[in-house]
Structure formats: structure tokens, C-alpha cells
């Protein structure tokens, strides 16, 4: 199924539109008016459904099977991407991709979680849940960026770090903690964008940045709504309540000072118009890099540290 439950009424109309288009080919009967009416109805319905999404519905949209992935976005906004593999210790984790590319002539190091499209690909990518090797690979590449003075752009899209026994045995928590520690000291510009799910430490391990943005239908939280409801309410079916309480939407994160800005998506979600989303993302990244280039290496590290120390603080 390539749509989520809230899209079903729209999907039903789109199926009818496609059927009419097929019937009209080579037929004497003109169905243009009927097609136009259905397209108009689908457009109005889409605007109505997506004009007032609840936090739980936004969570569903952040997990949409057609949502652009890290590799999709890298391909759209950059040139000459060369993927770099392996943590030089155990293996190459495909749930987290890294590599070199350029954006309008500016060399960039990319780091990001990668989900799959098909069931087979999702299993290969472990549904975007990185193992410690993924975070160690990311750290290796980010340290390389630091040595060569290259800015880092990271894309976050993960339900969380993989909690399997093998991952824990090989130091999952240590790998995440070390990434957070080292990222806070790097002396190059770092820009992070939450493009889908931003789940807990698994997200934060590549998101200690000078600038942090969220796409408007993405989420960022210490735990999934289902996990929160299961633990605190003893009922995973109350995920909708948990999603509202967690303030996990882009708007909630912005209001609480967790992120710097929201990158707007088209009506219906980012998968409806890759081109407009990519242009907005590229413009945001280039603007950030221009601003951050004015800071010295020491100022960049200090700015990052001060930024995260302020999160969650308040005046009594």
C-alpha cells in the first residue's frame, strides 16, 4: 500500500481519475469534464484533510512510504555524490549513509539515515535504524570532514537506534554518546535537517549542529508515540494522546527552541512534489553555510555547545 489511512479518500478519487483517463484514450466519448470535476474534488479534499493534521496524523505522514529519503534528497540537491562505506572496525551499516558531494561548487560531507522503499530494501536498510557501526562510520567521516575543513550536512530519518542484542553488545549507547560528544567539538559548519522521523538518541547522534531544521510534516521526539503510550499509559492504542503530549511536530519543536526553522512541504506531503521540497532544502542549506562561514573554527564549536546547553532551559 503506497498511501497512509488518512489519504484513502484521496487515493480512491485518484484511482477513478486514472480509470477515466484510460477509458478516454481512443474513445469517441469526451470525458474531460468528468476528469476535471474529479481532479477539482480531489484537490479540495486534499486541502481539507491536510489543513488541520493532528500530531498523530503528522507522525503517520512522516513515515509515508513514498517520502523522500536521504539518498533521494542528496541526488536532487547535489552533484558528484560519492558514497563512503564502512566503520573500519566491523562492517558497513546501510541504515546510515555517508559521502562526499558538492552543492553549487561547494564541497559537502553528507551523513544521513536511509530507509527503504520496498519490503526487501527496508529489511536491508533495517528500516533506518542504525547499528553502532553506522554511527561509527558517520563519526569517521565527520572527523575526516573536520580534518579537511569541509562543512557537514546531516539528514535525520529514523524511528531510533537499533535496539537489538548484537547492537547493544557492540556498544550502541557508547557509539551514540561518542558521536554527540565529538560533534560538539568539530570546527566546521554543521547543518541538520529532520526529513522524516527524528527518534531519540538515534537521531541526535548525527544532529548536534549549528543549524537545525525540520520539514513541516516531520517529527522529532525522545520516543515514538506508540512507545510512550505503551510505557506511560500501558496502552499503545493511546498513541494519539501521547503524540499530542510529546510536542513532536515541527511547530512544537520550533516553539520550544529545539530547531531554527521549518521547511514547508506542499499540500499532501513532501512526496507530492520532490522538486519544490528540494529547492527549498537546497536554499536553506546554502544560506546556512554562507552565514556559518563567517564564524571561525573555534566560534563554530562554541556556538554549537552553547546552542545545546540552552535547549530546555528557562528563566524562573
Distance CA 290, CA 313 (A): 29
As to burial, measured by CB atoms within 10 angstroms (0-12 exposed, 13-18 middle, 19+ buried), residue 206 is: buried
Given a cut of 70, whether residue 199 has pLDDT beyond it is: yes
Q: What is the pLDDT of residue 50?
A: 84
Give residue limits of the domains in the chain. 5-51, 58-310
Q: How does pLDDT run across 64-78, given as a tens digit for each residue?
A: 999 999 999 999 999
Query: Do 91 and 158 contact (CB within 8 A), yes or no?
Result: no
**Which pLDDT tens digit goes with each residue over 240-266?**
999 999 999 999 999 999 999 999 999
How deeply is 277 buried, as exposed, middle or buried, from its count of CB atoms within 10 A (0-12, 13-18, 19+)?
Answer: buried
For residue 30, what pLDDT band results from cuts at 50, 70 and 90? Answer: low
- Higher pLDDT, residue 93 or 35: 93
Q: In this model, does residue 19 exceed pLDDT 90?
A: no
Q: Which of 19-28, 91-100, 141-150 has the lowest mean pLDDT?
A: 19-28
The model's pTM: 0.90
- Give per-residue pLDDT as tens, 80-136: 999 999 999 999 999 999 999 999 999 999 999 999 988 999 999 999 999 999 999
Higher pLDDT, 190 or 312: 190
Provide, rounded to the nearest whole percent, the portion of the chain with pLDDT above 70: 97
Q: Cell 531510533 maps to which residue? A: 160
CA nearest neighbour of 92 among 140, 164, 156, 144? 140
Burial class (CB in 10 A: 0-12, 13-18, 19+), 204: buried
pLDDT score of 25 more than 80: no
pLDDT, position 5: 82
Mean pLDDT of 219-223: 93
Q: What kind of fold does domain 58-310 have according to CATH? A: 2-enoyl-CoA Hydratase; Chain A, domain 1 (3.90.226)
H-helix segments, the chain? 8-24, 32-50, 55-62, 70-77, 119-125, 132-148, 165-169, 172-183, 200-204, 225-232, 239-246, 250-255, 274-292, 297-310
Q: How confident is the prediction for the chain on average, in pLDDT? A: 91
- The pLDDT of residue 304 is 96
Collapsing DSSP states into helix, strand and coil, what is residue 271? helix
Contact 223, 200 (CB under 8 A): yes
Under 8 Å CB-to-CB from 120, ≥6 apart: which residues? Answer: none
Does the CA dihedral 157-161-163-165 come out positive or negative? positive
Amino acid at each position: 500500500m503506497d498511501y497512509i489511512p488518512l489519504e484513502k479518500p484521496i487515493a480512491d478519487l485518484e484511482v477513478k481519475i486514472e480509470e477515466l483517463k484510460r477509458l478516454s484514450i481512443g474513445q469517441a466519448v469526451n470525458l474531460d469534464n468528468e476528469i476535471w470535476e474529479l481532479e477539482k474534488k480531489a484537490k479540495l479534499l486534499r486541502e481539507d484533510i491536510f489543513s488541520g493534521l493532528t500530531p498523530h496524523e503528522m507522525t503517520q505522514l512522516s513515515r509515508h512510504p513514498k517520502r523522500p529519503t536521504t539518498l533521494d534528497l542528496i541526488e536532487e540537491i547535489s552533484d558528484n555524490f560519492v558514497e563512503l562505506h564502512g566503520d573500519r572496525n566491523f562492517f558497513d551499516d546501510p541504515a546510515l549513509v555517508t559521502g562526499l558531494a558538492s552543492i553549487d561548487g561547494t564541497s559537502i560531507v553528507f551523513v544521513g539515515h536511509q530507509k527503504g522503499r520496498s519490503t526487501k530494501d527496508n529489511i536491508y536498510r533495517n528500516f533506518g535504524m542504525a547499528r553502532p557501526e553506522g554511527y561509527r562510520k558517520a563519526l569517521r567521516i565527520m572527523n575526516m570532514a573536520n580534518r579537511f575543513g569541509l562543512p557537514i550536512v546531516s539528514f535525520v530519518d529514523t524511528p531510533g537506534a537499533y535496539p537489538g542484542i548484537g547492537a547493544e553488545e557492540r556498544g550502541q549507547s557508547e557509539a551514540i554518546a561518542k558521536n554527540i560528544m565529538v560533534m560538539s567539538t568539530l570546527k566546521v559548519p554543521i547543518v541538520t535537517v529532520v526529513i522524516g522521523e527524528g527518534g531519540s538518541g538515534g537521531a541526535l547522534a548525527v544532529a548536534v549542529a549549528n543549524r537545525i531544521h525540520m520539514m513541516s510534516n516531520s517529527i522529532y521526539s525522545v520516543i515514538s508515540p506508540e512507545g510512550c503510550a505503551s510505557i506511560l499509559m500501558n496502552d499503545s492504542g493511546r498513541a494519539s494522546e501521547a503524540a499530542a503530549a510529546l510536542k513532536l511536530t515541527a511547530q512544537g519543536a520550533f516553539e520550544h527552541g529545539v530547531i531554527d526553522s521549518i521547511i514547508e512541504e506542499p499540500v499532501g506531503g513532501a512526496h507530492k512534489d520532490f522538486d519544490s521540497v528540494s529547492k527549498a532544502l537546497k536554499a536553506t542549506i546554502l544560506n546556512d553555510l554562507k552565514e556559518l562561514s563567517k564564524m571561525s573554527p573555534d566560534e563554530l564549536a562554541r556556538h554549537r555547545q552553547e546552542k545545546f546547553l540552552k535547549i530546555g532551559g528557562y528563566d524562573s
